[in-house]
Amino acid sequence: MSLKNATKLENNRVELEIEVDAATFEAAVTAAYKKDVKKMAVPGFRKGKAPRALIEKTYGTGVFYETAMNDVYPAALDAAIKESEYEYVEDKIDLDVISVGPEGLVFKAVITVKPEVKMRGHKSLKITRPAVVVTDEDVNAELTRLQERNARMVSVEDRGAEMGDTVTFDFEGFVDGVAFEGGKGENHSLVLGSGQFIPGFEEGLVGAELDAELDVNVTFPEEYHAEELAGKPAVFKCKVHKIEKKELPEIDDDLIQDSSDFETVEEFKADAKKRIEDQRNQAADNEVDEKIAEGLIKCMKADIPEAMIENTINDRIQDFAYRLQSQGLSMDLYMQYTGMDTAAFRESFREQAEKQVKVRLALEYVVKTDKISVSDEELEAEYAKFAEQYGMEVDQIKAAIPAAELSKDIAVEKAMKLIRSKATITTEGEEAAE
């Protein structure tokens, strides 16, 4: 099997002329005879026992050619694509038989390949990194959250309800003196100021004392979901059963020791400051990477085949389906919940898929032009990292991820690091740093 010719066509299509030698094709025809003879009836012979020569004489010399071609062309096409050094994009393949017979098989295959990429200015990107600042207010907010987690509710009996209190009460709503459906509740707990009820209701409970009975007058919003109530005035008759307020503990070493892994307030604050700083540094690094990706796209010129974007969309949908499945949901159920159709769902992935394809092509260009290679040690280290991450044996990971594909991914990561090292990164409010 050999590649006779490769011709570049328009729209990232390449025509490959491929030859399968006589001996290889004859072996495929023999295998086709053994497979198909069981279905053939020839007078004087039991089914499946007729000689090949007699069948070919009866039905024609090429009676087994179609089966033989179907068996032999996939391997021949794969070998030809590798020999051509074009990178095939999974897409429709157009096949055309040029000649077939005892001399062998010659056919043409038109395939879609990755586009030619041109880059300019990608090693002189100018990026602004967000400044990372952690204020005393940020740290104190962590202490406040710790307070909130350790708060307790205490009953209020010596005053009326205030915003922030939790009130337990019965209520029944009336419009034009008539009770309406869904407007009644018993022992309902409500945090005043939470906005759970329609505007004006929670304010109407402010000042109400324990065991008080009162009317709360409100007007339903014009856009209220129940059309029969929208825009109408209503009266809610309420009876208060309980008023509670949140009591926060003192921020001291005792609180820290009881509710964290630290001994003192200062230790907690130091750790909180570092955690916030690390999180914001990570977020800033991610933003830098996003800006580098956008910069690479602007520096790149390429006529990208639609198949590459569609294939990436398929991959993203498959990943999304796996995540849903891990949560006990199916794609069909998700589509019902969201009310999306298949076309709209696919389209929601398009923008990110297109960006992913462009960035990958740009980084592959860097890998090629800068001759970035991956050592055996780097490859083994990456396999070991995956094995630890997924709790599997290294051999299992190797069986699941081909070395060639993993090497490409590592090389692309190294290309990203190279571009980042060449970029001029300016921190907001500080001097530029190379």
Dump pLDDT digits (tens) for 81-125. 999 989 999 889 999 999 999 999 999 999 999 999 999 999 999
Residue 269 tokens read as 């604050």
Question: Which of 1.10.3120.10, 3.40.50.300, 3.40.430.10, 3.40.50.1820 is the CATH number of 265-433?
Answer: 1.10.3120.10
Name residues whose C-beta falls within 8 Å of residue 266's C-beta, 6 or more positions apart in sequence.
Answer: none
Q: Are 161 and 241 in contact (CB under 8 A)?
A: no
Residue that has been written with the tokens 């987690």 in this structure: 149
| pLDDT at res. 431 | 54
Other CB atoms within 10 A of residue 65 CB: 18
Averaged pLDDT for residues 153-160 = 95
Using a pLDDT cut of 70, give the percent of the chain over it.
Answer: 99
Q: Hunting for tokens 């997924």 — which residue is that?
A: 390
Query: Is residue 110 classed exposed, middle or buried when 0-12, 13-18 and 19+ CB atoms within 10 A define those classes?
Result: middle
Residue 14 has pLDDT above 50, yes or no: yes
Query: pLDDT tens across 338-375, in order?
Result: 888 889 999 999 999 999 999 999 999 999 999 999 99
Q: What number of CA atoms fall less than 13 Å from residue 371's CA on the CB side?
A: 0
Average pLDDT over residues 19-42: 91
- The yes-or-no verdict on residue 434 having pLDDT over 80 is no
pLDDT digits (tens, 9 = 90+) for 300-346: 999 999 999 999 999 999 999 999 998 888 898 888 888 888 899 99
- The contacts of residue 265 (CB under 8 Å, 6+ apart) are 143, 251, 252, 253, 256
* pLDDT tens profile 263-289: 999 999 999 999 999 999 999 999 999
**CA-wise closest residue to 401 among 416, 415, 387, 417:** 387
Other CB atoms within a 10 A radius of the CB of residue 418 amount to: 17
pLDDT band at 433 (very low <50, low <70, confident <90, very high): very low
The length of the chain in residues reads 434
Which of these, 11, 181, 206, lies nearest to 89 by C-alpha position?
11
Instruction: Give the β-pairing of 2-8 and 13-20.
Output: antiparallel
CA distance 421 to 425: 9
Confidence at residue 432, expressed as pLDDT on a 0 to 100 scale = 46
Confidence of residue 424 (pLDDT cuts 50, 70, 90): very high
Q: Residue 249: is its pLDDT beyond 80?
A: yes
Mean pLDDT is highest, among 46-50, 51-55, 228-232, for 228-232
Report pLDDT for 429: 76
**Count of other CB atoms within 10 angstroms of residue 373:** 11
* Residue of 19 and 2 predicted with greater confidence: 19
Q: What is the pLDDT of residue 23?
A: 96
E strands within 212-275?
213-219, 233-247
Q: Residue 199: which residues within 8 A CB-CB, separation 6 or more?
A: 218, 221
Element (H, E) at 433: strand 432-433
CA-nearest of 60, 41, 162, 131 to 101 is 60
pLDDT for residue 225 is more than 90? no
- Domain locations in the chain as residue ranges: 2-113, 152-247, 265-433
Give how far the C-alpha of residue 376 lies from the chain's centroid of Cα atoms, to the nearest Å: 30
Tens-place pLDDT, residues 378-398: 999 999 999 999 999 999 999
Which superfamily does 2-113 belong to? Trigger factor ribosome-binding domain (3.30.70.1050)
* Residue 308, CA distances (Å) to 93, 114, 131, 176, 315 in order: 14, 8, 37, 63, 11
Q: Over range 9-16, report the average pLDDT.
A: 94
Residue % of the chain over a pLDDT of 90: 85
**Level-2 CATH architecture, domain 152-247:** Roll (3.10)
Structure tokens that stand for 4 in this block: 């006779």
